[in-house]
Chains A and B, each alone.
Chain A
Amino acid sequence: MGFKKKNVIIAVIIGGVVMILPIFFRDSRYYMNILNFSGIFIVLTYSLNLIHGYLGLISIGHAGFFAIGAYVTAGLTMGTTLNFFPSLLIASTAAALAGILLGFPATRIGGHYFVLITLGFGEIVRLIILNWKEVTNGTNGLNNIPPPSFGSWVFASRFSYYYLVLFFILVTMLLTLSLRRSKYGRSMLSLKTGELAATAMGVNPLTTKLINFGMAGLFAGLAGGLYASYIGSISPEAFSVDLSVEVLVMTLVGGSGTLLGPIIGTTFLMVLKEWLRFLREYYMILYGAGIVFVMIFMPYGIMGLAKRISSQLKS
């Protein structure tokens, strides 16, 4: 059950690189911004990676969890004396509870019907934040959200925020890894391959799915809270179905169900989008074509391709 020595070395090297990386970009607000946005979306992609990669279900309502995390964090840090970290914890718990609620229909409904339920969930959350003006400030949204602070230390610069996001990526990764290695992680994968067989073998689909959705909600809420405090202003437009689809694409491109897939998929697409900016109105065509290309020739994402190449090299 221990870690392979080779994997530990690789992890240490990657860890060192991501720790040092921002030092080279410290003076570039643009690159620091891309790194931070990528980091926040990596946490969000880990959330969907749980649902799709471990249960084989598709959700296009993830913007809903993300919005709950963002609005609760913003509301608590602005409207109460609570610090960022307890606010983020409460916000993530709220999103986790929403995840558990969404998990109930997942025990009975699957396939396209479940996709429609998640779509409905995302839209309901968006409509609530749009119309519950007294709390969410409607279309104007919540502005002047304070940056996170820890004692007298304020994460005001993009450079410092990078390390905060990095910390949460690490937390998310470790939780995913622990889940993967736990009884529940194996139960989830067995449900993905054959629910009837897994149930016959003693796997409880209700508990397993609720844990999965709860954790997915928690991760997405975490990402939402980080997003709100980073950008300092949130409004309903940011939480549309487009965001959910974008996160789904990031998950698939990276390699669903893998540990590094969310990091690779998110970073690749965030950088690609910026890199294609010069094409202006034509960039969406190329961006879309690129995704189609990846899906056709790399059905298991970039991680799947890497595994295939590695096994071919070995043989």
Chain B
Amino acid sequence: MHNLFKNLSSFALVLCLVLIFAVTSLAKIKVGVISSQTSGLAILGQRQINAAILAAEEWNEKGGINETKIRLIIEDSSDKTTTAVTALDRVLGKNVCAILGPIYSFQLFAMFPEVKKEKIPMLSTSGTRKLTQMDNRWYFRTYPHDGITKQACTLYAVEELKSKRPSLMSVTTEYGKSGYEIITNILKAKGIAPVAETWHEKADKDMTGQLMRIKRSDPDIIISQAHPSDTAIVLKQQRDLGIDIPHMASSAASMPSVHKLVGEAMEGVYVETVTLPNFDPDPNIRAWTKKYIEKFKKKPDSFALLYYDTANFLFEAIKAVGPNRTKIRDWLETTRYKGLAGQYRFDQEHNGAFFAIIVQYHIKDGKAVPELKKKYDFTPK
């Protein structure tokens, strides 16, 4: 009799545990998060995951979405296509209603066939132009593509700095070539022709030839498109050669590693970027940055801030239409959302972020500190 009671009570306990587990796992809205947690790409990826965790926790603290808690299914996409595709499988296997995807286009391209087949909304903060030109109605980009930031830097040079004789320095990679095309088209529309155009290789270590050619053409500004290491060389050598005109650099110049290389020559440099959460004067962004640093002991970057906005945008969609994949997609396509970094509204191609900022760096106590000069918002009306 004692044994029977013991067996029954053990059975009841196990049953209770199973029921609790079943209830808790069922009563959650599952959202997939795929980003790089390992490899060299984790520098960006982990910050994005942190941002998604922060957003989900904030919602859960308020009771979740329509009284149902959010559960993030986080998977590592590492730096490989195969790992990313397997991560997608693992996430899809957990029956998620939407996915916050990785930043890297080569992983996203490989995921697209399954995303389309599974009809699952995927949002990510990738800037590669081509991603939204693949006729994939399930993918949403929540980061401004190159066309937006280049538009901002050209307009600032022409309208705010009153440039009439701009000169262009471009790197020969795809990034530099597409940037060059966008800038020259905008200048042409404004009736301005560049007085000098130079090209360099990404790995070039000396830009004296290009800079001297620019100096001879007597421009009133240099607009450069380059990657981190060549940006540093261009900025440093411009100062060394005494070319005392404003410089509008591409977003690589907002990286702390570039500032270390450039040193004092960062003084006065204008840079086009999307957002700078660690320096933005907006009190909401400042509060968010503080919270992020306190929780994760790391400084957020622009991708993290936009990922946070993206997660919140997605949670709003689930709140409005429930965890239904098709309804979420339709809601995202037609709804405008005001996030911390800016406004989001998807166009026909599913580009959702159309804002950029121009900052000017000043050297304070030996460090390059940005000053916000202008915010641009090209969100379609």
Contacts and interface: CB of A to CB of B under 8 A. Distances in A.
Q: Is the pairing of A and B real?
A: yes
The majority secondary structure among interface residues of chain A is: helix
A126 to B, nearest CB: 13
Nearest to A37: B82
A138 B109 contact: no
Given A30-B89, A33-B86, A283 B38 contact: yes
A4 interface: no
Given A133-B174, A143-B109, A280-B37, A29 B134 contact: no
A141 interface: yes
B86 A232 contact: no
Interface stretch (B73-81, B143-151, B209-217): B73-81
A28 B93 contact: yes
Interface in B58-104: 75-76, 79-82, 85-86, 89-90, 92-93, 104
Given A29-B93, A280-B76, A281-B37, A274 B105 contact: no
The majority secondary structure among interface residues of chain B is: helix
Contacts, number: 75
How many B residues are at the interface, by size bracket?
20 to 34
Contacts of B75: 277
A258 interface: no
A238 B81 contact: yes
B81 A237 contact: yes
B110 A233 contact: yes
Contact of A238 (B86, B106, B134): B106
Contacts of A37: 82, 86
A233 B112 contact: yes
A274 B106 CA distance: 21
B113 interface: yes
Given A37-B82, A133-B174, A233 B92 contact: no
A281 B40 CA distance: 11
A284 B38 contact: yes
B297 interface: no
Contacts of A135: none
A47 interface: no
A144 interface: yes
B233 interface: no
B128 interface: yes
A162 B339 CA distance: 45
Contacts of B38: 280-281, 283-284
Interface of B: 37-39, 42, 75-76, 79-82, 85-86, 89-90, 92-93, 104-106, 109-110, 112-113, 128, 130, 134, 174
Q: Which 4 residue pairs are nearest across A and B when measured between Cβ atoms?
A: A235-B106, A30-B89, A232-B113, A233-B109
Given A232-B112, A236-B106, 17 more contacts: A29-B89, A29-B92, A30-B86, A30-B93, A34-B86, A37-B82, A37-B86, A133-B174, A140-B174, A231-B85, A233-B109, A237-B80, A238-B106, A242-B80, A274-B86, A277-B76, A281-B42
